[in-house]
Each structure stands twice: as C-alpha cells, then as structure tokens.
Amino acid sequence: MTSIVDLQVMWNRMIAIVEEQALTLVRTSFSTSVREAGDLSAGVFDADGRLIAQAVTGTPGHVNTMAAAVGHFIRDIGADRIFDGDVYITNDPWKGTGHLHDITVATPVFAPGHDGAASRLIGFFASTSHVVDVGGRGYGPDAREVYEEGIRIPIMKWAERGELNADLVRIIRNNVREADQVVGDIHGLAASNETGRRRLLEMLDEFAIDDLDEVATFVFDRTHDAVMQALAAVPDGVYENSMDVDGYDRPVHLAVRLTVSDTGIHADFDRTSPISPFGINVPIVYAQAYFTYGMLVALAPELPNNFASLAPFTVGAPEGVILNAVEPDPVSVRHVLGHFVTDLCLGALAEAMPGTVPAEGAGALWNFQASARAADPVGDPRPPVELLMFNSGGTGARPTLDGLTATAFPSGVRTMSVEATEQVGPIVFWRKEIRADSGGPGRQRGGLGQVIEVAPAEGYLFEFQAMFDRVDHAARGRDGGGDGAPGALRLDDGSAFRAKGKQVVPAGRRLIMELPGGGGFGDIDQRDPAAVADDRAQGYVT
Amino acid sequence: MVLRIGADVGGTFTDVVMQRGEDFVSTKVLTTHEAPERGILDGISALSADHGVDLSEVDRVIHGTTLATNALIERRGARTAFVTTAGFRDVIETRTESRFEQYDLDIVLPRPLIERRDRFVVPERLAADGSTLLDFDVETARAVAADIVAGGYEAVAVGFLHSYRDGRHERRFRDVLVEVAPDLPMSLSCEVSPQMREFERFNTVCANAYVQPLMASYLRRLAGGLTDLGITCPLFLIHSGGGLVSVETAAAFPVRLVESGPAGGAIFAAHLASRHGRDRVLSFDMGGTTAKIALIEDQVPQTAKTFEVARTTRFKKGSGMPISIPVVEMIEIGAGGGSIASVDLLGQIRIGPRSAGSEPGPAAYGLGGTDATVTDANVQLGRLEPATFGASAIDLDPRAATTALMAAIGAPLGLEATAAAVGVAEVVDENMANAARVHAVENGRSLAEYSMVAFGGGAPLHATRLMDKLGIEELIVPTGAGVGSAIGFLLAPFAYEAVRSFHTATVADGRLGDGVDDPGFDVAGARRVLTELEDESRSFVRQGTLAEVAVERQVSMRYRGQGWEIPVRVPDGSFDDHAAEQLVHEFTKTYERFFGRAIEGLPVEAVSWAVKVASIIRPPVPVETIPDGPSAEPAGYRTIVDPPSATEATAAVVPRDQLAVGDCIAGPAVIVESQTTTILAAHHVAVVQHDRSLRVTRRPEQAAQQIGPDAS
C-alpha cells in the first residue's frame, strides 16, 4: 500500500514527464504549427490504454483524440503482438486526431517486477505531432475524398522489438514532399516516447512499485470525484444553441443539444448541416475534443486531463453531418469548424449557468497561408517559398472582463514575429495593428480584431489559399451585448478579395485583412464611465 | 590587501559584505524601499565601525539590486513614450496573440508597459536585408518629437522594424528629438538589444527607457553617499549576465541590471565549483518567496539571451514580459519558506506561489500569519526550533504551526499535523525537483552526474531530500550561505556580452556552399559581425579594467525549418571556412547530445551571434576533498521526522561554528547556524571541508535503499 503523499507525488511526476516529452517535440519539430501553435500532444497511459496524464499543449483538438488513440493501437495491433521494444504509428484521421497531417506514435512500456518476476506490459506513451507534409494535394480544403489528401498510414509497427521497419520508412519517403523533415519528426516522436519510458521506469524504481495500477486508480478516483462535484453545480436539463458560420462554399449551420445529468454532459450535433464536398468536414472525435475543452474550461479548469476527467463528456451525431465526417470524406482543414464547436457548446451552457459564459469570439484563426512565386517565372528561376502565419481576431467579452484583443480562443496558437517571417520569405508586412471599433459594445467590450496589410516583396506574387470565416456572420454578443465587427478582405486598389479559395495577390498589390472582433457582454449603458473614457483615450473606440 | 565591498539590495534585506584579503564579514539590514541607498550606506558604516575599517582604503564597491525589477513589477517607472514604425503601434500590446493559461476563461493578460496613447508612429521601413523600403519621414518625425515634448514625457524608447540589422532610422529619430529635447533620456532598440523579433526587442527597449530615470538618479545618490562616507574608489554594478559594468554603462542600459541579485548567487556557486574542482554543479538558492535553480558547467554559470520578468500569474511562462539581454539562465519557482500550502479541488496539496513573506510571515513566526507555510511544516517536522532559529530574533511558536497545518491541510485530508507537514515538505521538494529536471532537459543534461550547491536561508533545509530525489551524489553547503549573492558580487569578473541577430545558412547536408551559384554560408559577413561584437564588448570592459581578458564567442544554430536554436561555441582564431565547417560539425554533435539523433540532408542555419569579453579572474585555491573524519560531538539531541518514511528519529544537534575541519556528522542530524539549518536524514553523512563548507553524501552501506520511501 503506497502512501497518499507518494501517490500524489507520482501523479505530479507523470505530468512532469509528459510535459518534458512535449517540450522535446516542440524543440525538434520542423512544422510551424507545432512550434508556434503547440499543435502536438503527449500522454502516458495504463496497460488498458486509459490516459493517466497528458501534457497541456496549444491545441485542445488533441484533448480527446489523444485519449482514444491508444485504445485503437491495442485493438489493431493485438494484445499478443505487443512486444518490448515496439513502436507503433498511424495518421488515420479517425483513429488519430482528425486529419492526415497529424502523426501519432505509441510505445509500450514493459517493466520487470521488483521480486524478480518476468517483464510485463505496464503502460504506454503516445505522442502526436503535425508534420510539414503528407503528400497528396498539399494542405488545403480542395480534395473531394480523403484519398487525395495524402498518404494514410494504418495502425502498424514503426519498429518491432527495437528493429526499425525500413520498408515503411521507404514508403513514407516516397510519398511526402519534405521526406527528411517528415522522417526526422517521426524519429523525434519515437525518441520523446522513449524519454518518457525511461523516466517512468526510474519512477517505478524510486517508489519500489511494479506497475501503475494503484497510482492510475488513485488518479482516476480523485479526478472522478472532482468532476462529479463540478457537474453537480450545473442544473440538470436539456440546453440548446445554434450558430451560423460562413463555411466554405455555403453557410454552415452548427447546432448542439446538451443533456446535463448528474453523471455527465452529452452533446448531440444531429441538427447540424450535412457534409461539405470540401475538406472542412470534422471527424466527430475532433468535435468532441472542442466540446470537452469548452465544458472543462467553464466547469473545472483546474482538472488535469485524464481518462476520468474526459469520460463524462460524450457526443452523438448521425453519420453524414458536417461534425461527424466518415471515410472517405475529406477532412484536411477540420480545424476551421472545429474551433467554433467550443463557442457553440458554451452558448448552450450559458442557458444553464447564466453569467459565467463569455460572448462569442472570432473563433477560427485567420491564418495567412500563401506561396510566394516569382512574378516572371520565365526570367526568374527562384523557387517558390511557402509562407504560414497565424493571426487572431478578438475573443468574446467575459461576464466581468472585456474580451481579449487579437488573441486566439479556443486554439492556443501563438503568432509569429513579423521580422522572423520576413527573414524566411519574400513578404512585407506594412501594417499589423489593433482594429479600432471592432469589439462588440457592452458592459464588457468584446476583444478587438486587428488589421493586417501584407504584400509580396518586389518581383513576387502570392498564390493565396484563403480560409477565413466570420465575414458574413459576426460573433454575437451575450446578455444584451452587441455583436463584434465581422471580418473583411480587399486589395489596396479597392478590388475585392474572396474570403475562401485560391486567389492571386499580384505583384505590387497589398492585401488588406480586417480580422473580426469578439461580441460584447451586457448592456452598453452599464459600462463603467472610466472604461468608456479609456477606450477613447487609447483609440480602441473612436 | 584588497578591501572590497559588495552590496545586494533585496526585497526584504540589504546584505553588505566586506572582503579584507581572504576574510569576509557581513551584515544584514532592512531594505529602505523609498531610498534603497540608505540601507547600503548604513550597512557599510556599521561594518566599518564594528571592524575598524578605514573606508578611504576601500578599493572597489560592487552593487547589485532588484530596484529595476521591482520598478517593472510595480510599474513605478518613468512616464515613457514609445516611437515605432507606422503600422506597428501595437506590437507590445498584442504580444504573441495567445493565452499563457489554456484553461482559464477569466485570464488577464499583462498590460503593456507603455499604453497605446503613449505610443507614436513614424513612416519608415527597412527590409529584412537592411535595404530601405520606405524612407524615414522626417516631417512626421518632427511632429512626433514636438508631441513628445508637449506631452511632458520623462523618457523615450525607439524601436523600428529590422533595426537589429541596421539602426540608421532609429538614430535619425534620435537626431530629430535631440534638436528639440537635448536632455530627454532616450533608448534605441538597435543599441539596447539588437536581436531579431520585434515583440521582444521593443519590449526590452521600452523597459530600458522606463527604468532609466529612476536608476540614473538612484545611482547618482548612491555614488554621492559613498563619497560622503569617504569612499573614493569607483562603484561598479553587477549585471544580469553575471559581470561587472561601470556606473555609466549601467545608467545607459539599466535593463541589464534586472536579474543582478540571483546572478550573484550563481557566481557564488560557480566559485565553489571551481574551488572544489567540480565541472557539473546544480546551484540551488531558496529564499522566502522563491527557489532558483541554475546549472554551472565547467565553473561557469549557463547564460541565455532572453528571459521573462515580472510574471503576473503563478510564475507561469508567458505571463510576464520578455527581456532580450544576456542573463544567467535559471528557473525560478514559487517555492520558498513563506510559500503557502493549501488543498485543491482534487484533494491534492498545493504549495505557493503565494507567499506569506515577512509580513505577516509563516504562522510559526507569531506575527499574525495564519496560513500554513513551508516554514511551518519545517517547524512541525522538528527541523526548526525556537532555541536555534536565529533569523530576525523571531520566537518560533510550534503550536501556531500545528494549528495552521491542521486547518489548511490536516482537516480537509483527514491527516494528523505531522502527516500534513510531511505532505507539504514532500510536495514542495517534488515541485523543486521537477523544476530542476525540466531545466536539465531543456539544456540537454542529466542531473545524475551533478553536485549540488545549496545556499539562501531555505535551501540547506531541503537540499538533502532534493539530492535524493534527483539522484545527485554530493551536496556542498558553503559558509556564508545567507549572503551568498553579495559574496558572489565580489567574485565576479568585468564582463560584457554583445549579441546580434545575423542570419546565414549552409546549403544541404551542412556544406558551406560555393559562394557563387549557391551562396551558402556567409563566412565574411559572420567574421565582420564577430569583429564588431568583440570591439563593442571590449570597449565596455575597458571602462572598468585594464586586466587581461578572455573572449568567448557563441552562435545559436538550428536546422533550417526549426524554430529553436542550440548555442554552439565558435572556435578561437580568425573566422574562416575551416572555422565555419568546425562550427557546423559542433552543431551536429550538440544536436545529437540534446535529441539523440542528428538529422540528415538539411541545411544548418546560424541565427544569432554573441561575443563575451571578460577579465580573467584568478581561480580560487583548490581544496582537496576530505572524504571522512572523526565524529563531531553533538551539543544535544532532538526528534525530527523524516518525510519519505514519515518516521520519527532522534537527531544529533550540531552547532556549525563549533565544527573543525575534518569533522564528520552522521545523520540523522541537524546542523544549525545563525542564518540557516542543514538537515541530514539517517542515510546522509556530512564532512567539514578545508574551506569549512559541509560536504554531504549518502552512506554507501545504505545506498541500495536510500531513495525509496517504502524502504522500511
């Protein structure tokens, strides 16, 4: 019997181990979205594949997806084929994190008993990282089926008993554009699991235990009690909300019905729009992640993620709605709608818990994604340069606080330095500044969006992949607060620029992007006069 | 005989140390916040009177202070205007566009140091390669200068895009402003911190301007006060990188003073590492509010090029403001003697980051505090007791500690007071151990081969448990631990590190390139940057000393496509093709050490270059390790509780000042001195070394079962 203090220390230790795992991945990754957006995850699991601890990374999209992944690995590999020294891999959107660009690697942990007993399976480490390329059409919504989106690696062995699967390495190298970087990143995932495995074995030695059963039970019991206590604060009932957003080729209607009981919250997405022909569809595990994140951040923000904290939050939707894409639906940019799921579900919760939930925010990121090409491809042989930069609008006002200006929510994305981006490629930013008057008015003001003016460097043009939402549908205020300003796009000569699809920013032109603001909260008449005066003095409101 | 004074102004105490030849004497006085120089001058007068020192014979005064840090934390700086490139007025406000805490709907982001209304823009623009995209608009600049004068600002910061590459537009603005306001203090980002990344650089130049008037006037008053005491020698300041600079340099770049106190602690630890001949040392400094952990490699503290100051939320990364200057690299966590313990929603014991500080202090101080703190747990465990607790003439009240522990921890968890104290001690030790592990990982190190040096009032109480948790074999508790930072000041070299961003990359597979079709690595450009940086650093060091100097050159490198760089040492001598090839080779080796495997086929990029020039310090006389010796006679015995086993043990009580060189103390034992207490568990043994430091190891016969909590 291990003491309670030791069990607590071990729990903390396992959280530290997975954080260390995640940190290593951030440092070695070649993918901008891993580095700047924390688009990765790392976790430790018990022998049954139940998540014991997960690193807090930049993306809530991995919250449930990570938790479910190891169960798939155990089933597909087969318990009798799991050996010491194995490493498993997949990028299956429905068994991993919702699109092919995320590669998940799992490593079983075997430990000998301290009484000299034979080595046996005691748990797993798993980690996921967004890689720079998976072949296919490249990153974007234009594929009509998942087969066009790139190589799809089933759950299989990357290594068996310590021996690398050289055939698989060659297959991957032949199917992706940046083979050195992609294979480098997969080795990085396996190495980070290996670090975790060693640290875990050290912990078993230090506490003289043979397996994780007791500590896992402790973690799950404690967490279960805490999450039930948090749920008890929410009145039982059925709460609904819906939200219209721009979508890709046509508007998308997102709808949720939350059923709150003493034992959990179930989200039904059955009245949501049908599948899109474009790759904006969302595998349900990814929608579940953003739903669960919304519930946890509102009800139990202190709880670390594990099997027991996630179990009470369940989802349902018929196949064929846009939040339950199935094979072979294209899913490459599932994050755009996925990011709205949090505000959608929080909106339903607002009915159950008035005065705790923020207004709607910009939600989806406004990622600048372009290929800079020589304007004169015949006379100028310079190769194209891929550019990626994350940008955020404003978040919704909170019941007691203004919204956050130019800040990502629910995503945890960071923007990149303008200077660093200009070092990478032929691009010039002429403006990146707060957008005045874009926050929804209210007792608490919505967060402000920003204005970005960007141009190809001399001699270049941009092939631009636009994927911007909240141009036709503003973030709505709550409890009498006004809507945030919708987004807008144009070129500096006044010509229009569509919010969706491939377009060209010609040489010599600037693209002007006005990012949406967040909704306001409460009646504007109740706004503190000092806050009103400050808004004017700072130029937030003109 | 050298006669030097070191003065460290901290949040609660001002420590003054006087070095006479090889001897150190010290005093602690309360910090006077409204006039921090007062404490220093009082301390010096007191030492002079007590020890009969003629102050006119003092040949050097070295000072470090948290004044600049506190001004940033408490926002007590000058009314400052910031002038930047048109279109980029909000860089210091929109920050990284992210939330530092993922699970908090009510998160409050740090306020920008300079509000939007005080930020002005001038049309101008340089490209990433330093060429002009838009000319400097002198008319607008004149109008902005007029607004700044009319606005009554006390300081001005200037930060334009890509000025790390070329500061000509920033200097043009200075020329314009000087015409109308010749006496207004002004800071340019190309001079304060010429490093790429606008948010960090702009924030750094704003911080410099913000604290400059305050620091300049403080340093003037201090220098005047020293003169009035009859001290005629120059005053030097210790900077965050752990070197000395002149008062003039400090007044021009006060942001470089931000972490000076803790830097002194790291130098202190490095000096011990050198004296004891240890190449891998973990410096563990635990005070009332925080614990600081740093790595000392080859007797030199590790440094970084950027850090975060004034964190607003639980010392959480991202909740403060970035400062891009060379700094002794350390992690600081909310784990000090005054850190408050509580039970969270999950029934878990949590420690800090709130601290009871010195007012009201831990419950056991009997000064009105009711929160249970780490100190209260130490009292409950018998580690501290009224008879031997020397600090501030405080009478410890063990019953108050018990009451507080029961209320905060015992009752909610159904534990006795002693079990609650065990929990608090174990959790705070685990927090520090985890922080140390992460710090080691971030530096690609494994702690097993390290020795630990513990100082600061709290560290020796926790150090033996920490060494067990980290698998460290050796702990050194130096003499003078209570004023370690101020002693560190006296040991510091004159040093300055200049840093600049300069991008260049090899072609694929780490080859330099032919310089024609595939230009590759710009060897000549790199050589020019290195020369300029060395000249700059030398000129600052020469303001303080004519002594022989050492030059150390470093470049931050990565594979193209990555975002995090590894520091690599530049080989000595002229930087030519051969040196560049060596550099790339060294990067590959270092990458392997960090991450287990190098990556094939990719270009290698050099991003940021640094040259440090430092005067050569005479190394301390090495001391032989004394492995064993005769047992010291205890002054008495008392009962202490050993947290991992939660069992009581009868411990020898040994006053440190009665120990002789070579004396051996076997655990369980409590070694007491006026400013701290060292705890030995049953499996620890301490031997007094030639320099009177305590060297603690684990007893070999118990090595097999030393760590496990359930070994019994």
ipTM for this prediction? 0.93
DSSP string, B661-686: TT-EEESSEEEE-SS-EEEE-TTEEE
Cβ pair B98:A24 closer than 8 A: no
Cβ pair A9:B441 closer than 8 A: no
List the single residue in A9, A191, A450 with the smallest CB-CB distance to B94: A450
CA pair distance B432, B295, nearest whole angstrom: 14
Q: Are A400 and A452 in contact (CB under 8 A)?
A: no
Q: Determine the distance in angstroms separating the CA of B612 from the nearest CA of chain A, rounded to an integer.
A: 25
CA pair distance B303, B452, nearest whole angstrom: 18
List the single residue in B197, B438, B711 with the smallest CB-CB distance to A419: B197
Residue B700 confidence class, pLDDT cut points 50, 70, 90? confident
Interfacial B residues in 250-289 facing A (CB < 8 Å): none
CA pair distance A149, A151, nearest whole angstrom: 7
CA pair distance B126, B143, nearest whole angstrom: 21
Q: Which of A202, A418, A434, A478 to mutate to test the interface with B (most CBs of B within 10 A)?
A: A418
Average pLDDT over residues B113-126: 97
Cβ pair A23:B438 closer than 8 A: yes
pLDDT at position B711, please?
Answer: 32
- Asked if B648 has any chain A CB less than 8 Å from its own CB, the reply is no
- Asked if A385 has any chain B CB less than 8 Å from its own CB, the reply is no
List the single residue in B117, B346, B431 with the smallest CB-CB distance to A537: B117
Residue in A closest to B560 by C-alpha: A30
pLDDT above 60: residue B703: no
- Asked if B91 has any chain A CB less than 8 Å from its own CB, the reply is yes
- Asked if B517 has any chain A CB less than 8 Å from its own CB, the reply is no
| Tokens of residue B617, six digits | 């310090």
Q: Starting at the edge strand that comes first in sequence, how are the strands of the sheet with A488-491 ordered?
A: A427-434, A450-456, A511-514, A488-491
- Asked if B448 has any chain A CB less than 8 Å from its own CB, the reply is no
Q: Which of B198, B562, B594 to mutate to test the interface with A (most CBs of A within 10 A)?
A: B562
The hierarchical CATH code for the domain B3-72+216-257 is: 3.30.420.40
Residue B315 confidence class, pLDDT cut points 50, 70, 90? low
B378-422 pLDDT per residue, tens: 999 999 877 766 555 578 899 999 999 999 999 999 999 999 999
- Asked if B441 has any chain A CB less than 8 Å from its own CB, the reply is yes
Query: A414 to chain B: which residues are within 8 Å by CB?
Result: 96-98
Query: A180 to chain B: which residues are within 8 Å by CB?
Result: 599-602
Query: B108 to chain A: which residues are within 8 Å by CB?
Result: 401
pTM for the complete prediction? 0.90
Measured between alpha carbons, how far is residue B200 from residues B66, B281, B318, B323 in Å? Answer: 21, 30, 12, 6
Residue in A closest to B643 by C-alpha: A5
List the single residue in B105, B196, B710 with the smallest CB-CB distance to A358: B105
B168-203 pLDDT per residue, tens: 999 999 999 999 999 999 999 999 999 999 999 999
- Asked if B20 has any chain A CB less than 8 Å from its own CB, the reply is no
B324-369 pLDDT per residue, tens: 998 998 888 888 888 999 998 778 899 987 778 666 788 998 888 8
Go through B653-662 and write b for each residue having 16 or more CB atoms within 10 A of its CB, e for each that does not: bbbbeebeee
Cβ pair B595:A5 closer than 8 A: no
- Asked if B115 has any chain A CB less than 8 Å from its own CB, the reply is yes
List the single residue in A13, A404, A419 with the smallest CB-CB distance to B109: A404
Of B59-63, B399-403, B433-437, B561-565, the one with minimum mean pLDDT is B561-565
Closest CA to A407 of A33, A58, A30, A35: A58
Interfacial A residues in 145-184 facing B (CB < 8 Å): 178, 180-181, 184
Q: Are B116 and A436 in contact (CB under 8 A)?
A: no
Query: A400 to chain B: which residues are within 8 Å by CB?
Result: 106
- Coil, strand, or helix at residue B241? coil
- Which residues of chain B form CATH 3.30.420.40? 3-72+216-257
- Asked if A345 has any chain B CB less than 8 Å from its own CB, the reply is no
Sign of CA dihedral A241, A242, A243, A247: positive
Q: How far out from the chain centre does Cα B334 lie? A: 14
What number of CA atoms fall less than 13 Å from residue A243's CA on the CB side? 30
Q: Which of A7, A8, A9 to mutate to test the interface with B (most CBs of B within 10 A)?
A: A9
Cβ pair B708:A206 closer than 8 A: yes
| Tokens of residue B654, six digits | 């040994």
- Asked if A188 has any chain B CB less than 8 Å from its own CB, the reply is yes
Sign of CA dihedral A5, B671, B9, B294: negative
Cβ pair B348:A414 closer than 8 A: no
Residue B36 confidence class, pLDDT cut points 50, 70, 90? confident
Closest CA to B425 of B382, B484, B370: B382
- Asked if A11 has any chain B CB less than 8 Å from its own CB, the reply is yes
Cβ pair B563:A32 closer than 8 A: yes
Cβ pair B133:A431 closer than 8 A: no
- Asked if A309 has any chain B CB less than 8 Å from its own CB, the reply is no
Cβ pair A415:B98 closer than 8 A: yes
The hierarchical CATH code for the domain B77-214 is: 3.40.50
Cβ pair B87:A303 closer than 8 A: no
- Asked if B704 has any chain A CB less than 8 Å from its own CB, the reply is no
Beta-strand runs (E) in B166-306: 186-188, 235-238, 244-246, 280-286, 291-297, 300-301, 303-304
pLDDT at position B597, please?
Answer: 74
Question: Prior bond to B643 cis, omega within 30?
Answer: no
| Tokens of residue B270, six digits | 């490095």
Interfacial B residues in 340-379 facing A (CB < 8 Å): 344-349
Q: Are B612 and B496 in contact (CB under 8 A)?
A: yes
Tell me the pLDDT of chain A (542 aa) as tens digits.
678 888 988 998 898 889 888 888 888 788 777 877 778 899 999 999 999 999 887 788 887 888 889 999 999 999 999 999 999 999 999 998 899 999 999 999 999 887 778 899 999 999 998 888 899 988 888 899 999 999 999 999 999 999 999 999 999 999 998 888 899 889 989 989 998 999 899 889 888 899 999 999 999 999 999 999 999 999 999 999 999 999 998 999 999 999 999 899 999 999 999 999 999 999 999 999 999 999 999 999 888 899 999 999 999 999 999 999 999 999 999 999 999 999 999 999 999 998 899 999 999 999 888 889 998 878 777 778 878 888 999 999 999 999 999 999 999 888 889 998 898 789 999 999 999 999 999 999 999 999 999 999 999 999 988 889 999 999 999 999 999 999 999 999 999 999 988 899 999 999 999 999 999 999 999 999 999 999 999 999 99
Could you tell me if residue B297 is left (phi over 0), alpha (psi between -120 and 50 degrees) or otherwise beta?
beta
CA pair distance A130, B500, nearest whole angstrom: 31
CA pair distance A68, A34, nearest whole angstrom: 21
Q: Determine the distance in angstroms separating the CA of A293 from the nearest CA of chain B, rounded to an integer.
A: 8
Cβ pair A181:B349 closer than 8 A: no
Q: How far out from the chain centre does Cα B168 lie? A: 33
- Which residues of chain B form CATH 3.40.50? 77-214
Cβ pair A27:B564 closer than 8 A: yes
**What's the distance, Cα to Cα, between the start and end of chain A in Å?**
66
The crossing angle, in degrees rounded to 10, of helices A4-28 and A179-206 is: 160
pLDDT at position B705, please?
Answer: 42
Residue in B closest to A358 by C-alpha: B105
Residue in A closest to B120 by C-alpha: A538
